[in-house]
A = this chain, B = another copy of it.
Amino acid sequence: MISTALEEYLTAARVRQLLELDELLRFPSISTDPAHAEDVAATAAWLADHMRAVGLENVRIIPTRRHPLVYGDWLHAGADQPTLLIYGHYDVQPVDPLGQWHSAPFAPEVREGKLYARGAADDKGQTFIHLKAVEALLATEGALPVNVKFILEGEEEIGSGSLLEFVPRETDLLAADAGLVSDSHILSPEQPSLLYGLRGMWAGEVTVTGPATDLHSGSYGGVIHNPNQALAELLAALHDEDGRITVPGFYADVRPLDEAERAALAQVPYGEAEILSESGAPALWGESEYIPVERTGARPTLEINGMWGGYTGDGFKTVIPSRAGAKISCRLVPDQDPEDIGRKLTDYLQALAPSTVTVDVRAIHTGQWFITTLDAPALQAAAAAYEQVFGRAPVYTREGGGIPVVALFQQALDIPMVLMGFGLPDDNLHAPNEKLDVGNFYRGIATSIVFMQELAAPAEGGDRS
């Protein structure tokens, strides 16, 4: 419950909190681009300073082979109180196509109650919410209701390589009773939601090579299989007309959805109308025997994230390129194995490849899916916190955007993971004009505070509502 002192503190702090977040969002911490490595490091340093400033202890920057981790804790709630591990990431996606942004991606701007910047929702803004919750509790009550550890990474957008090595090695440092991740969204401020399942991933690159060098299409068209065309033919063969993936064995290990789960998912008030409105697409697409929330959360997918070949500049150039390529990612569900799916996709593409070209498939990244039980106490504490702050109980959802480390924390630390999102479905993640609803930022701080109170052992939480 938010006490009067807390409420006064939070109200007085609103402008300052937003200005601090503005400062954090100005770092262009694009983890995939080596040119931004120093920006990523500077972001970690800023966060470490800020963690000390809000009252966290043992704060340190942990170097890795690529981008640093940041750790900090506050462990004075007592041995009878649970320990909460809070995860977040401070790296961001690239910003192209830059021309489609209405304000510069690293110069945050508030328009109509929304804060526009790369990383506003994914994930600097959502991570910052919990630092502000800790600050408010320590400033007004001098203590947190539970023990808290923070672990922040700078490689989430490139596969969390360093964290995936760090967590299994540092299980003592990270030991906790529950994990908290805010890197997702709720359905709307009027209808909060709790994610209980996330998909895994296989991502890679397909390259089709034909002639040894680019050729004049006027001289060689008709006798040389154009790699652009061969690639298009391969990519077009990966789905059937109903949107099902045609890779042999792709669905072999998919755990069927039972009727109870389908009934629960059917309650989610998010369907064709909402998706069409958010996306601006002319019509929905996909497996017609599943409803949209099943297709985006509980069914596996295969997407062509990028495609290139030949001349793409101004005017035209009559060329047959030597090579064409595509980036492909598959979202995976229980019990699909990413390595197995990568092998099946590779085998299928090789089997489809005509003798007129050579096809190379290279894996870039894999990530495990995650699923949790609906009756875990930490999840119920989160549900209670949402209900108190948002005024409505959350619905339970499974979603598509993977957070590879969630499965890792659950497995390596044997703890239930709570995915407490404060973004909205139209936040333009990974796209131009990424935003965070400013109202949700403040509601998020309150929800984080109540969640810690709810998570505390009953002896300490006498006034639980």
Contacts and interface: CB of A to CB of B under 8 A. Distances in A.
A219 B400 contact: yes
B327 A295 contact: no
A104 interface: no
Given A235-B229, A282-B358, A313-B94, A223 B275 contact: yes
A354 B241 CA distance: 10
Interface in A197-228: 199, 201, 203, 205, 210-226, 228
A215 B431 contact: yes
Contacts of A399: 218-219
Given A216-B429, A218-B400, A303-B318, A224 B285 contact: yes
Contacts of A311: 94, 96, 305-306, 327
A213 B299 CA distance: 24
A216 B303 contact: no
B215 A279 contact: yes
Contacts of A317: 32, 93-94, 305-306, 327, 430
A221 B432 contact: no
A401 interface: yes
A433 interface: yes
Interface string A279-294: 1111111110000100
A301 interface: yes
A233 interface: yes
B318 A216 contact: no
A308 to B, nearest CB: 4
A282 B32 contact: no
B312 A217 contact: no
A189 interface: no
Given A275-B223, A284-B224, A231 B329 contact: no
A129 B201 CA distance: 60
Given A228-B304, A356-B281, A432-B213, A314 B33 contact: yes
A320 interface: yes
B279 A224 contact: yes
Of listed A364, A399, A401, residue having the most chain B CB within 10 A: A401
Question: Chain A interface: which size bin?
Answer: 35 or more
Interface string A221-252: 11111101101110111110001000000000
Contacts of A284: 223-224, 356
A307 interface: yes
A355 interface: yes
A230 to B, nearest CB: 9
Contacts of A287: 222
Given A318-B305, A432-B213, A275 B220 contact: yes
A212 B280 contact: yes
B225 A304 contact: no
A306 B296 contact: no
Interface in A406-433: 425, 428-433
Interface string A81-109: 00000000000011011001000000000
A318 B296 CA distance: 14
Contact of A315 (B32, B201, B279, B325): B32
Contact of A232 (B212, B223, B304, B428): B304
A213 B318 contact: no
A356 B357 CA distance: 31
- 7 A-B pairs closest in CB distance: A212-B280, A218-B401, A225-B285, A236-B236, A222-B295, A32-B315, A232-B235
14 contacts: A94-B311, A213-B280, A216-B400, A217-B331, A219-B401, A220-B400, A221-B296, A221-B301, A229-B238, A231-B307, A303-B320, A305-B317, A311-B327, A312-B327
Given A215-B279, A217-B303, A223-B296, 12 more contacts: A32-B315, A216-B431, A217-B329, A220-B400, A222-B287, A223-B284, A224-B279, A228-B304, A228-B307, A236-B237, A281-B356, A281-B357
